[in-house]
Structure 1
Amino acid sequence: MSRRKETIITGLFLAGLILFGFISCQKTADKKETNSSEPLRPTPVKVYKVKKQKISEKLIYTATLEAWKKQAITPDISGKIARIYVAEGDKVSKGQLLAELDTQSIRLQLQQAQAALSAAKANLEDAQRNFERMERLFKEKAVSEQQYEKARLALEAAQAQRDQAEATVKLAQHTLDVSIMKAPFDGVIASKNAEEGDVINPMMGGLTATSGVVMLVDYSKIKVKFDVAPEDIQKIKKGQRVFVQGYDNFSNEKLEGEITVVNSSADPQTKKFRVEALVNNQDLILKPGTFGQVVVEVDSRDNALAVPQSALLNNSYVLVVEGNKAAKKNVTTGLKNTEMIEITSGLKEGDLVIVEGNFGLAEGSPVEVEGEVEK
């Protein structure tokens, strides 16, 4: 094949490629023009109808739960434990006998003291009669002043012996009383920390000195303790309502209480403020020694316009449905909680605020309402 023929064939091939490319581009352009003329498909959304309602601003914390009364039951004296009448988990009433020391020697001491008191009283009666006789004779000048003084001093000595004997009886009785351990209040035996036969010495420390022969708790009320960050502490006030739920409470029941303590100084390490609340727990739903969630109602407003938190975009605006299109509404906000936020301006009652499908949705985009969310 000659060089001239090769050149002609190559030229024809290149011309064909150029023509094919031009036709393809034209078809693509025509297709784009056709697509751009098609209407945009509406975005499916769900809406919330704005209405007036009560809204409460709430703060949520993790709290430790403690019994509001707790006491280690320990005798004031040393001795060997003779009997323990209760077990862990027992419910007891105020004044109920819980445990006692071996009181045999104490009872003997009490008997001796009572006998000595009886003798002292008899001696006092004799001394009183003798003094009265001597006093009468002294007035009649039948006895000397020395004899009279001797009788008077004998009476005073007998009175002192009687007083001392009474004190000894009281001491022995007190020793007996404190060797018997009774419940100071209604409650539950949280733990049993000693056994019958153990020798206890509260002054020496150790297990029973710190936690008692038994530990008695009353958790018909619960102390709720939690820590609040500096930026929130100004919102916390004594008397505010709280709602508490135990993390191990599978019924999801929340118990109501109120704040009783707000510390004015922060922990030097955590920089947080300790707050305490007291919650009624009559059904013993909350358990001491566990953790729970506490919700503090720091403020509330009646007849407020509020929308779900999911409606607010960029913390400054919401999208509402107007004429089947998304319309942007700049808003200002007020109180808020985990679900709702108050709208103080920018919306009116009855507006349909988009709460689902609003992420990435442009203003003016067509929308199709698939349902209304109730809150």
Structure 2
Amino acid sequence: MIRHAPRVALSLAVSLLLVACSEPEPVTQAPRPVLVVHPQPAADAVESFSGEVRARFEPELAFRIGGKVARRLVEVGDRVKKDQPLAALDPQDVGLQLDASRAQLTAAEANLRLARAERERYRKLLDRQMISHSQYDTVENQYLAGEARLNQLRAEYNVAGNQAGYAVLRAPRDGVIASRNLEAGQVVAAGQTVFTLAVDGEREVSIAIPEHAVGRFRVGQAVVVELWSRPGQRFAAHLRELSPSADAQSRTFAARVAFGDGGIGAEPGQSARVFLQAEGDGVLSVPLSALAAEKGEPYVWVVQADATLHRAPVRVGAYGEERVPVLDGLKPDDWIVAAGVQVLREAQAVRPVDRDNRAVQLAAKE
């Protein structure tokens, strides 16, 4: 028995070596559970845009003449009345121009009186045939020229008077000073904007619509506005104005939203949020958590009939708070993964469940 021990040990060693060299049995991974949902109609996905309350009319105010600012009488946020002085230029130069125009007008009036008296004397001499018609015509022309000169200087005097009045900038309507661009001592040019006036009355919300979403909105479209100062209160409004061209820097389209009721008490400068409903037939939406992207190209994971995943490229609209419209790439009866999309891979086996952790039959509707 002792002589056979080496042979037994050798056989045992060979058997262990063969077992160690054999390939291990493949481990089968259990399908990964994933939360799935159906795409919803875009009517359930409302897009929101941040904006600022603005006045319906916001004229930019400027002096009609140039000069040095002598006084600034209002600050930003001040409420002003119609014809209230806002700022004044140094009146010295326009005052001198007015005095010079007045002196010229006085001289022209004296010259016209002299020409009128001369014309009357020559008319009497002509009636007595003591002078020729050509002499009388010369005096008559001098009178007409003096009369025209007087009319010219009178008009110039009126202009000079207006110029003196233009040295004081006044509010054209009741409102609030929205911006100020001048200080006392500053030299301004004629037509240079120095104030912006937010006129009392109608209020609007100014928003910017992204370039890829502007085609889905139209003037007159119904929207809803919520003021940051009054959370939970929403006001009916409509899209009153939409710019036909994009801003050169932001590439967004400026839009104005008008309130349906002018008595909501919104003031210029308040923050607001505008909720717009994208228009279009057949537009679907998915949760933001279902969307992934690679190299800037968005996609979602669609669960196929054999419970494996397929990456479906999609074309999306403007992102909302919780959902995003999908313009192309999905069907209403598709099952899509709604969470954890970053850790999934193509053709991966999954176990689809709903939000209550119940198994989903892929052939059935949610």
TM-score range, shorter chain: 0.5 to 0.7
Matched, 1:277 2:254: yes
Matches within 5 A, 1:347-366: 347-349=331-333, 352-356=335-339, 359-360=343-344, 365-366=350-351
One-letter code aligned to 1:46: L
Matches within 5 A, 1:120-199: 120-121=108-109, 124=112, 127-128=115-116, 131-132=119-120, 134-135=122-123, 138=126, 140-145=127-132, 148-149=136-137, 151-183=139-171, 188-191=177-180, 193-195=182-184, 198=185
Contact residue 305 and residue 344 of structure 1 kept, 8 A: no
Q: Secondary structure at the match of 1:47?
A: strand
Could you tell me which residue of structure 2 aligns to residue 326 of structure 1? 307
- The separation in 2 between residues aligned to 1:238 and 1:53, in whole angstroms, is 12
Q: Secondary structure at the match of 2:77?
A: coil
- The separation in 1 between residues aligned to 2:286 and 2:208, in whole angstroms, is 32
Could you tell me which residue of structure 2 aligns to residue 206 of structure 1? none
Question: What runs of 5+ residues in structure 1 fail to find an aligned partner?
Answer: 204-208, 243-248
Render the CA deviation track for 1:193-247: whole Å, top value 9, x for unaligned: 322xx3x5547xxxxx9977x443659778878997xxx7xx87798689xxxxx
One-letter code aligned to 1:144: I
Could you tell me which residue of structure 2 aligns to residue 371 of structure 1? 356
Residue 48 (structure 1) aligned to one of 34, 37, 43: 37
- Percent of residue pairs identical: 19
Could you tell me which residue of structure 1 aligns to residue 243 of structure 2? 259
Render the CA deviation track for 1:310-353: whole Å, top value 9, x for unaligned: 55789475116x7xx835578675554532425656x554x654
Could you tell me which residue of structure 2 aligns to residue 216 of structure 1? 196
Deviates more, 1:47-56 or 1:83-92: 47-56
Render the CA deviation track for 1:253-312: whole Å, top value 9, x for unaligned: 99965233248xxx8xxxx89555243588566689xxx999999x85323454446557
TM-score (norm 1): 0.54
Describe the shift of the 1:255–1:261 C-alpha distance in structure 2 as closer, same or farther (beyond 3 A): same
TM-score (norm 2): 0.55
Pair member with larger Rg: 1
Pairwise CA RMSD: 6.2
- The separation in 1 between residues aligned to 2:243 and 2:98, in whole angstroms, is 50
Contact residue 48 and residue 354 of structure 1 kept, 8 A: yes
- Higher strand fraction: Structure 1 or Structure 2? 1
Render the CA deviation track for 1:150-209: whole Å, top value 9, x for unaligned: 5424413531441353144134213303322234676625235322xx3x5547xxxxx9
One-letter code aligned to 1:143: M
Describe the shift of the 1:93–1:238 C-alpha distance in structure 2 as closer, same or farther (beyond 3 A): farther
Residue 72 (structure 2) aligned to one of 84, 93, 96: 84
- Higher helix fraction: Structure 1 or Structure 2? 1
Contact residue 89 and residue 168 of structure 2 kept, 8 A: yes
Contact residue 259 and residue 278 of structure 1 kept, 8 A: yes
Question: What runs of 5+ residues in structure 2 fail to find an aligned partner?
Answer: 222-227, 260-265, 294-298, 358-366
- The separation in 2 between residues aligned to 1:331 and 1:295, in whole angstroms, is 29
Contact residue 314 and residue 328 of structure 2 kept, 8 A: yes
